[in-house]
Chain A
Amino acid sequence: MVYTKRVDGRKLDELRPIEAKVGVIPNAKGSAMFRSGHTLAYAAVYGPRELFPKHLQNPKKGIIRCYYNMMPFSGSGERIRPGGNRRAQEISMVMTNALNPVVDLSAFPNTVVDIFVELPQTDAGTRCAAICAASMALADAGIPMKDMVSAVACGEVDGTVVADLIYDEEAYDAIVSDIPVAVLHNSKEVTLLQMDGEISKEALLRAIQMAQKVTEKIHEIQKKALKDKYAREE
């Protein structure tokens, strides 16, 4: 059995409808909203600001810290009790690792740039949406960056490699692998790579290549959102 027709009718490498906007949280130095289908993420950047506890300070450059959180009513089932949970902590960490290679805080020693991402509703691909939103928010804040980061969850559903899995595909009744990938736009290097499921090496490489291809489209949307903030009236 091969998965040829996707649950929601999309082509194998087709992304869900995406909406992106920057400057949505006035209190923050930079902010963004990124929505892919039913997965919606808000990101806000504060800093560079003083870093506590002091032993985390780096005298050569500033650091970034990501905080990923799903709102209590954003899960696909019951309410999620607020407060730290291990999944959110892990995602926060891999997000930080995905964004670190592009951020240049050498002019701001001993400081921290805090990136908060919150999701009011989700339908798979949450850490990818979070990274896309965070990337835009950092650019909106004018934090020096060497490249933009875009992310998408690709994977294999019942033998077919697809892009941008939704919840119903993750839960599909067959062998599924869910592979979130973050890609740098200029160099095409990978800064986030995780996997849930079972897959062969060959299919995995195809999934990563698909991610590199579709993140180009995501990048265009992120770039447009940044430009639109400064669009001139005619």
Chain B
Amino acid sequence: MNAMWSFLEKLWLKEWIFFLENTYRDGNKIYAKILGLVGAAGRVIRITPLSGPYVPRVGDKIVGKVIDITMTGWRVDTGTAYSALLNVKDATTRYIKKEEDLSKIISVGDYVVVKIINVTSQNLIDLTMKEPGLFKTVGGRVIEINNQKVPRVIGKQGSMISLIKSRTGCEITVGQNGNIWIRGHSPENELLAAKAIKLVEEKSHYEGLTERMEKFLAEHGTTADITPVEQAAPEENSNERYEEN
């Protein structure tokens, strides 16, 4: 189905339809609640938002900043209005003694790749860092994009992000909250990856984005793939610093 422009325009429908979030009904008229692209497939109306706050969901992988150390763990800024807690027992499989200085494991100001394991009715969030693929970042840089553009940055089956990773040789972890961690061989490669991601964010509603990206990466980088930086792979001990070679 074609994506049409819509903003609070009435959608007249004769049959019963299923509509997903971001719409509301008034009698037999359906209105969009946010600025977005409208798509309809069969009986389902979907509104793809162009902007909007990140709504935390269980299972989401996000990149957050540690802002406080508590008695039982760390408080993490997830880019939402809500407090997120990473409990010590969810941070590492290693046994942590009671008197241990938590800031030696993760300090205030560190960025962590974590997963949401619980969201209360008041939107308070519990996190874990214990699963594979979750870690405390070392080096590199974190950038911020519109969280609604994350699916486009990742691409169909990860195609877009893989393209950017391979042409810049960067490790890239995309958080559902719109925070993205990038680490490459050089700051120039990291900057190129950051610019490429920003390009997707800007032109996300265009067609032919993959070709545009290929062109961009060719103009500013290379057309060949670059061997990526070695994985940090902190397994047991999340406090092991990655030594730069």
Contact = CB atoms under 8 A, between A and B. Distances in A.
Interface residues of A, number: 33
B31 A50 contact: no
Interface string A165-186: 0000000000000000000011
B148 interface: yes
A107 B81 CA distance: 12
Interface in A128-162: 139-148
Contacts, number: 76
A232 B7 contact: no
B109 interface: no
B53 A29 contact: yes
B5 A140 contact: no
Given A146-B24, A226-B35, A230-B205, A141 B52 contact: yes
Contacts of A226: 7, 35
Nearest to A223: B7
B9 to A, nearest CB: 9
Contacts of B55: 107
Nearest to A230: B205
Interface string B22-46: 1010000001011100000000000
A143 B50 CA distance: 11
Contacts of B34: 139, 142-145
A90 to B, nearest CB: 28
Contacts of B82: 50, 110-111
Contacts of B121: 109
Contact of B31 (A62, A112, A146): A146
B51 interface: yes
B123 interface: yes
B12 interface: no
A139 B24 contact: no
Given A47-B81, A143-B52, A104 B33 contact: yes
B123 A142 contact: no
B95 interface: no
Given A30-B51, A226-B7, A110 B122 contact: yes
A224 B33 CA distance: 17
B8 A185 contact: yes
Interface in A94-127: 104, 107-112
Contact of A140 (B35, B123, B148): B35
A217 interface: no
6 contacts: A109-B121, A139-B7, A141-B52, A142-B34, A142-B35, A148-B8
For the complex of A and B, the 7 pairs showing the least CB-CB separation, nearest first, are A142-B52, A142-B51, A111-B81, A144-B33, A48-B81, A49-B81, A50-B81
Interface of A: 29-30, 47-51, 59, 62, 104, 107-112, 139-148, 185-186, 223, 226-227, 230, 232
